[in-house]
Copies of this chain bind each other. A is one copy, B any other.
Amino acid sequence: MVDTWLDEKTSNKIVMSSRIRLARNIEGLPFPHMLQSNEALESLADSVSETFSDYKTLDMRAFNILDKALMVEEFLISPRFLKQGVRLILSEDKHASIMIGEEDHIRIQVVDTSKTLEELYKTASDIDDALEKNVEYAFDTNYGFKTACPTNVGTGLRASVMLHLPALSKNRRIKRVMDALTRMGYTLRGIYGEGSVPLGEMYQLSNQVTLGVDEHTILENLEDIKNQIVAEEEKTRQWFYHNRALTVRDSVFRSYGLLTYAQKMSLEEAAEHLSNIKYGVDMEMLEVENFQFQKWMCVIQHAFIRKRIEDQNLEYTSLEEAENRERAILIKELLGGNE
């Protein structure tokens, strides 16, 4: 159903996936937001496609808005790329991609559910090296890579990990964790990045500082922070397990009951219940056949549901109501058609 790197069975707990992103720009070419036309970016894309001949090149103009929204929900492109992206050059397994015409000329992204940040950085770095053979990057010997937004100047590296933090969310410590991280130069935010609201107790942890530290230090520090958050989440899960067993069990099973029987459901509510079930599965309170948290979290999103409504030519008076109804139907299908 989902045509993305998530389309694989994983049973990760807490750390759901990791991602490396490198921001690069071409020397002498104005940043994308300053360009009058896409010509220069298209010819850049052509050259990149040539370098990565085993990758697939997708012309973003060939997609309608719904298809592009789907790609955002699949984590293939960024919300910003949906609006202004020119070309997406995508590895066959969809784990590596090069966005041409995001905020910067080039954005290299490598993502995986099980590999470490260092492993992903190695892949991104290889892509970076291959690109550099054919293009001249905008680079300053004092500062490093030049980027459209000053927050990326230097390494142009953003490393992030997707964390599922139900226990920290439920006891409200997540807010304190978030504040502490901000003071330390990290962010913990929604899974669709900047400006996105946390859904299903999933958070994206990433570095904010890209300047004045080398890449490996960035990765090491983020790894450290991640391990601390994971330990905190695990400790809190144990506390709940020993002190609030019935309450947690109740909440998990209620979510299962609602997902099984509700006739309409908003995205926010569905995400909340799926998160509860994931928590319950992780804590071995219940078993759900073929449960794929991240994939399901993906397919309940707005564009996915709208695509289903479109594909079935469903009639409706209120799109929101139709979406909520269709989401409930989909969830029942995923859960194995219990009624």
Residues of A within 8 A of B (CB): 246-247, 249-250, 253-254, 256-264, 321, 325, 328
A321 x B246 contact (CB < 8 A): yes
B residues less than 8 Å from A253 (CB atoms): 261-263
| Most interface-central of A259, A261, A264, A328 (chain B CB within 10 A) | A261
Chain B residue, CB-CB nearest to A322: B246
B residues less than 8 Å from A260 (CB atoms): 257, 261
How many subunits of this chain does the assembly comprise? 2
- Pick from B247, B256, B264: contact of A261, CB below 8 A: B256
Beyond A257-B257, A258-B258, whether A325 also contacts B264 by CB under 8 A is: no
Chain B residue, CB-CB nearest to A258: B257
Beyond the given A246-B325, A250-B263, A256-B261, could you list 19 further A-B residue pairs with CB under 8 A, ordered by the A residue number?
A: A246-B263, A246-B264, A246-B321, A247-B264, A249-B263, A250-B262, A250-B264, A253-B261, A253-B262, A253-B263, A254-B258, A254-B261, A254-B262, A254-B263, A257-B257, A257-B258, A257-B261, A258-B258, A260-B261
| Most interface-central of A246, A249, A259 (chain B CB within 10 A) | A246
Nearest CB of B to A33, in Å: 44
**CA of A253 to CA of B262, assembled, Å:** 6
The 10 closest A-B pairs by CB, nearest first: A257-B261, A257-B257, A250-B263, A253-B261, A249-B263, A250-B264, A254-B262, A257-B258, A253-B263, A256-B261
B residues less than 8 Å from A257 (CB atoms): 254, 257-262
Chain B residue, CB-CB nearest to A325: B246
Nearest CB of B to A275, in Å: 16
| A/B interface sample: 9 pairs, CB < 8 A | A246-B264, A246-B325, A253-B262, A253-B263, A254-B262, A257-B257, A257-B262, A258-B258, A260-B261
Chain B residue, CB-CB nearest to A339: B253
**CA of A254 to CA of B263, assembled, Å:** 8
B residues less than 8 Å from A250 (CB atoms): 262-264, 328
B residues less than 8 Å from A256 (CB atoms): 261
Nearest CB of B to A271, in Å: 17
**CA of A249 to CA of B328, assembled, Å:** 12
B residues less than 8 Å from A254 (CB atoms): 257-258, 261-263
**CA of A148 to CA of B316, assembled, Å:** 63
Chain B residue, CB-CB nearest to A260: B257
Chain B residue, CB-CB nearest to A253: B261
Nearest CB of B to A284, in Å: 15
**CA of A258 to CA of B325, assembled, Å:** 19
B residues less than 8 Å from A249 (CB atoms): 263
**CA of A256 to CA of B262, assembled, Å:** 9
**CA of A321 to CA of B247, assembled, Å:** 10
Chain B residue, CB-CB nearest to A248: B263
Chain B residue, CB-CB nearest to A251: B263
Nearest CB of B to A71, in Å: 31
Nearest CB of B to A253, in Å: 4
B residues less than 8 Å from A325 (CB atoms): 246
B residues less than 8 Å from A264 (CB atoms): 246-247, 250
**CA of A325 to CA of B250, assembled, Å:** 9
**CA of A305 to CA of B321, assembled, Å:** 39
